[in-house]
């Protein structure tokens, strides 16, 4: 893969500081950032998605933020296509691309080079697949594709292959990576991360996160769409519609859900043995610069 163009990946959990680190590193190298976050692609989803504020970008160009309207259908395939376009554009300008985010599938779709069909999704078949537990889905995949090498517990990947086969795409090629990636991981010890999550949640609530969700509802964004976004948008919508009786209960439930989600993010990223985890208690910028210098040399 030495002939592949090089990109830097900064992945990690919620409230880990990966966005800020990405800006500092991209600024240092004159690079540009491609966001890998499944909610930041939507316009108007700012505080709830943890979208970087314009003044926090320090002039570093950011891509794949605010590319579609709330309620629009946006798939992993859409993300991969736009991410490839953005990364190739950055490389063509002679600059270093930084893929920064916490949506594991979005990151992997680019770094692993998932091969995806152009067929539109069969939502009815997807709903049917969702009724099965992951071991059963893997059993179904083995029956249709006995030589598959997909990880049995990777529910999303198993479902995606079943959908491809259902669509008549019987040739399911392996991954086709387009880039050589240096993967850097960002997180903290459990107690520090929990405290950072609580602090960030309080700050965003004070900045108007509840009002942001109310504004989306007032503009006609469907309650179903907001709930499907999960976490901040789901719990605040439930609070605003009376499904959760008090703000205090909502904040407690939401804080717990974010921490559980961060744990799942960590489980996902820990599977990737190519990620080098930065020491956030030391000098993560200096550590990262050393690794990047050797990588791009």
pLDDT tens digit sequence for 191-240: 999 999 999 999 999 999 999 999 999 999 999 999 999 999 999 999 99
The mean pLDDT of 271-288, rounded to a whole number, is 96
**pLDDT given at position 34:** 98
Q: For residues 209 and 187, what is the distance between their CA atoms, to the nearest angstrom?
A: 24
**pLDDT given at position 173:** 61
Which secondary structure element, helix H or strand E, spans residue 98, and what is its range? strand 97-101
Q: Quick check: 1 pLDDT over 70?
A: no
Nearest to 7 by CA among 217, 123, 178: 178
Q: Quick check: 82 pLDDT over 90?
A: yes
**pLDDT given at position 170:** 67
Question: Beta strands 5-12 and 275-277: pairing type?
Answer: unpaired
Q: Where is average pLDDT lowest: 31-45, 90-104, 116-130, 180-194? A: 116-130
- If you compute the radius of gyration of the chain from its CA atoms, what whole number of angstroms results? 20
Q: For residues 63 and 86, what is the distance between their CA atoms, to the nearest angstrom?
A: 7
The mean pLDDT of 57-75, rounded to a whole number, is 96
SS3 131: coil
**pLDDT given at position 166:** 85
- Top pLDDT among 36 and 159 is at 36
Identify the burial level of 165 via C-beta atoms within 10 angstroms of its C-beta, where 0-12 means exposed, 13-18 middle and 19 or more buried. Answer: middle
Q: Band of the pLDDT at 115, cuts 50, 70, 90?
A: confident
Q: For residues 223 and 203, what is the distance between their CA atoms, to the nearest angstrom?
A: 24
Q: For residues 191 and 283, what is the distance between their CA atoms, to the nearest angstrom?
A: 20
Q: For residues 73 and 262, what is the distance between their CA atoms, to the nearest angstrom?
A: 25
Mean pLDDT rounded to a whole number for the chain: 93
């Amino acid at each position: 893969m030495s002939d592949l163009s090089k990109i830097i990946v900064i992945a990690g959990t919620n409230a880990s500081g990966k966005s800020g680190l990405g800006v500092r590193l991209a600024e240092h190298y004159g690079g540009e950032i491609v966001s890998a976050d499944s909610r930041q692609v939507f316009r108007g989803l700012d505080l709830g998605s943890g979208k970087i504020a314009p003044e926090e970008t320090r002039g570093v160009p950011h891509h794949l933020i605010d590319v579609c309207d709330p309620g629009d259908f946006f798939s992993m395939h859409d993300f991969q296509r736009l991410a490839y376009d953005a990364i190739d554009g950055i490389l063509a300008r002679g600059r270093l691309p930084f893929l920064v985010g916490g949506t594991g599938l979005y990151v992997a779709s680019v770094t692993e080079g998932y091969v995806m069909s152009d067929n539109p999704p069969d939502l009815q078949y997807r709903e049917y697949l969702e009724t099965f537990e992951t071991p059963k889905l893997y059993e179904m995949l083995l029956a249709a594709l006995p030589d598959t090498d997909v990880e049995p517990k990777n529910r999303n990947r198993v479902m995606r292959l079943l959908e491809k086969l259902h669509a008549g795409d019987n040739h399911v090629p392996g991954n086709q990576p387009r880039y050589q990636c240096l993967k850097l991981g960002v997180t903290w010890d459990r107690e520090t991360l929990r405290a950072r999550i609580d602090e960030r949640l309080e700050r965003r609530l004070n900045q108007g996160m509840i009002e942001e969700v109310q504004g989306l509802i007032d503009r006609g964004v469907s309650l179903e769409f907001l709930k499907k976004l999960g976490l901040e948008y789901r719990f605040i919508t439930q609070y605003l519609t009376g499904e959760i009786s008090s703000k205090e209960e909502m904040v407690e439930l939401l804080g717990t859900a974010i921490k559980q989600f961060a744990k799942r993010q960590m489980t996902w990223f820990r599977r990737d043995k190519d990620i080098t985890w930065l020491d956030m208690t030391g000098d993560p910028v200096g550590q990262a610069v050393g690794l990047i210098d050797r990588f791009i040399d």
